[in-house]
Amino acid sequence: MLNHTDLNLKEIAQEAEYEEESDDEVTPDDTIVSSYNTAKRIRMELQDQCKAEKQALKAAREARSSSASGSRQMPGSETEYPSMQLEISYLEASRRVSCNLYNHLAWLITDASPEVGDAGRVKVSPKQHEQVLNLAQDVCQTVAGIPTPKHIGTALHILKETRSKATVTLLNRFGNCISYQDAQRYITTMVKSVDEQTDCQIELPELSCEKHEEADTRMFAHIAYSVQHLHHKQAVVVAIDTDVIMMCIYYITHTDGLQELWVKKMDIYLPAHAIADALAVKYDVEAADLSSMLLSTYILTGCDTVSYLYRRGKKRTYKTAVDHLEDLLPLCRYGDPGESLDVKEDVVTAARQYMVSLYERSDFSGHLDALRAHLFGNIKGDMRCLPPTEDAFQLHLRRALHQLAVCKRAHMSQPTYPVATDFGRELVSGKLVATMMLKKAKPAEFKRTKYCHCKKSMCGRGCSCARANVKCVIACLCTGDPNKCSRIELTLEDSDSE
């Protein structure tokens, strides 16, 4: 019977025999341990590299904060995040990939010999070299989160070609590129680098834009300068304002040399040039005339500086404008550079007829007062749906024409505008205020709220207006018509006025 000591000696003897046998061959366990040690060593190298870059970023932030507090920095001493300064090339990728990681992957995917060159790397063909670097960059990004030329370049290329944040985010989740936020930081870093290299400031009198009060118009002066003097053919406007989008559609058809004009609205890019061309083909009109019509009617029916018509949306106004394009030409041409800013009668007539058409009563070709009175007697809804009075329309039209001139001359650095106080506005405590009307909307004595509902009696018996001793008016069921109301006599003066 063996005791505990004998068992231990037997186990030691067996282990000794196993070690003697394993001197000439490698066991699977040794291979696993060797692979584990290699992977761990490469992983620690990548983590150290990432840690060094974070320390460099921290130092750069401290340097910027110290310079902002008043201490001067020597030129060239600014420290930026290394990952945001690298070039997008295989040469830069080769510099950032360690020799251990490179050799390990090269032996894994190629049949390279174990011999290492002077640079500390195995020798492979140029094609295999690119394959190894591509895989090595994926490992750097995945293991340590180190941005590499491959991942930065992929994100920038996708942004340039598609302008899609969703696509970049999706590829980032798959590990194929950096995040959208990091891509934006990289672009900002490149712009700052260019600004630092350009140590001179040039004043351009052509872009002083002293008369431009808002960026909505000033940006088009910059676009015009870039096209005329710098010979740019494409431009992107970042805006969410509908006024700016309508101006983009107008200027893409009125700026010689500008081939493409894009509007970035949130994460969507709207091609103003394609919109203008598509509408021109659809309605078989010149793109310049159509864009002028769209801008003119858009301003007339309400924009940032001009009041809108109640319950008359942009879809209706657009459809009505397309149906009356020829009649609107005098209005569309107002405010063109080089043209007079005097308000001519044909402009007022075109605008009035368009306003009447918005209320679907083309038979009222005269003043808006007649249409307003007619609809007042037939409307059953909100009184705000009535068209404006002729007096209010004249003031509204002048405010719209003033804004139209401002928009059509936005490409000029020193444009000429009409006097605002002559175009439906007045100065109140040093501020321009819209003058809504010069006449009252209804007579002061007209305060009653009840009207008669006589149908067959011709207002002879039981007429509420007769009991109140007031005249029947257009709001009554008889509409104040002498043919329907016996209380009103048709005279020669009445027939002439009608």
**Under 8 Å CB-to-CB from 187, ≥6 apart: which residues?**
156
Q: What are the DSSP calls for 79-96, one per residue?
A: ---GGGT--SSHHHHHHH
The SS3 call for residue 268 is strand
DSSP annotation string for 109-135: HS---S-B-TTSSB---HHHHHHHHHH
Q: Which pLDDT band, with edges at 50, 70 and 90, does 428 fall under?
A: very high
Contact between 169 and 177 under an 8 Å Cβ cutoff? The reply is: no
Tell me, what's the pLDDT at 489? 63
pLDDT of 498 higher than 80: no
CA distance 483 to 448: 24
Bigger pLDDT: 477 or 54? 477
Write out pLDDT tens, residues 57-97. 667 667 766 654 544 443 333 434 444 456 788 888 888 88
Per-residue model confidence as pLDDT tens digits over 230-253: 999 999 999 989 999 999 999 999
Q: How confident is the model at residue 197 (pLDDT cuts 50, 70, 90)?
A: low
Count other C-beta atoms under 10 Å from residue 29's C-beta.
9
Give the model's confidence band at 118: pLDDT under 50 very low, under 70 low, under 90 confident, else very high: confident
The pLDDT of residue 252: 97
> Do the Cβ atoms of 389 and 340 come closer than 8 Å?
no
Q: How far is CA 254 from CA 151, 273, 324, 410, 488, in A?
A: 41, 11, 22, 12, 58
Poorest-confidence range of 1-10, 171-180, 411-420, 439-448?
A: 1-10
**Confidence band of 196 (pLDDT split at 50, 70, 90):** low
For residues 452-456, give the mean pLDDT. Answer: 83
Helix (H, G, I), strand (E, B) or coil at 263: strand
Report pLDDT for 65. 62
pLDDT over 50 at 202, yes or no = yes
Burial zone of 350 (CB within 10 Å; 0-12 exposed, 13-18 middle, 19+ buried) = buried
For residue 44, how far is the Cα from the chain centroid? 45
Residue 253: CB partners within 8 Å, gap ≥ 6?
276, 287, 288, 290, 291
d(CA 109, CA 121) in angstroms, rounded, equals: 15
Q: For residue 323, what are its two tokens?
A: 């149906």
**96, 93, 116, 95: which is closest to 104 by C-alpha?**
116
The whole-angstrom separation of Cα 50 and Cα 146 is 6
The residue-averaged pLDDT of 296-321 equals: 93
Residue 474: predicted pLDDT: 75
Confidence band, pLDDT 50/70/90 cuts, at residue 256: very high
263 φ, ψ to 5°?
Answer: -120, 115
Contact present, 226 and 235 (Cβ < 8 Å) = yes
Residue with token string 């300064």: 85
Nearest C-alpha neighbor of 110 from the set 126, 92, 93 = 126
Q: Is the pLDDT of residue 405 over 90?
A: yes
User: At 485, is the pLDDT very low, low, confident or very high (cuts 50, 70, 90)?
Assistant: confident
Kindly write down the DSSP assignment for every residue of 196-219, as one continuous string.
HH-------GGG--TT--SHHHHH
Report domain extents, the chain: 31-65+78-193, 285-434, 443-498
Q: What is the identity of the amino acid at 175? A: G
Is 98 a residue whose pLDDT tops 80? Answer: yes
Cα Rg of the chain (Å, integer):
39
What confidence tens digit (pLDDT) does each residue in 139-186 have?
888 887 778 889 899 998 898 888 788 999 999 898 889 888 888 888
Beta bridge partners of residue 218, listed in sequence order: none
